[in-house]
């Protein structure tokens, strides 16, 4: 969650840490943007070796983007849904 809350390049000494998703929040939601969002979510979440992503769903909202990840924790078989809302007004990512 920390990586989704920090804009890429904001953490001193770690320019690759964080996400560029905040650059996409204000864009029109077209298919090409959807592919870029998916790739960015995969990149950021791929930095955590404790789980794998099975599916990504995105839902544009009035004041942000809701992203639902179906994840499986390594060494288990149970899939879980992780919902993260990217609020463009507060510039925060939060679990819902």
Query: Phi then psi for 87, rounded to 5 degrees?
Result: -90, 115
Encoded tokens for 50: 């404790």
Say how far apart CA 69 and CA 81 lie, in whole Å. Answer: 6
Residue 30: domain span:
2-95
pLDDT digit string, tens, across residues 40-80: 999 888 888 888 999 999 888 888 889 999 999 888 888 99
pLDDT at 26 over 70: no
pLDDT at 15: 87
pLDDT digit string, tens, across residues 38-47: 999 998 888 8
CATH number of the domain that residue 50 is part of: 3.10.450.40
| Average pLDDT value for the chain | 86
Considering its fold, how many domains does the chain have in total?
1
pLDDT at 54: 93
The answer, as to whether pTM is greater than 0.85, is no
């Amino acid at each position: 969650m920390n990586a989704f809350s920090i804009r890429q390049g904001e953490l001193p000494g770690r320019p690759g840490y964080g996400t560029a998703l905040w650059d996409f929040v204000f864009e029109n939601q077209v298919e090409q943007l959807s592919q870029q969002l998916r790739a960015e979510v995969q990149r950021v979440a791929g930095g955590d070796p404790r789980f794998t992503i099975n599916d990504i769903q995105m839902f544009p909202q009035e004041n942000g983007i809701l992203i639902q990840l179906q994840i499986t924790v390594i060494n288990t078989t149970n899939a879980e849904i992780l919902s993260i809302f990217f609020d463009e007004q507060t510039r925060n990512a939060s679990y819902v």
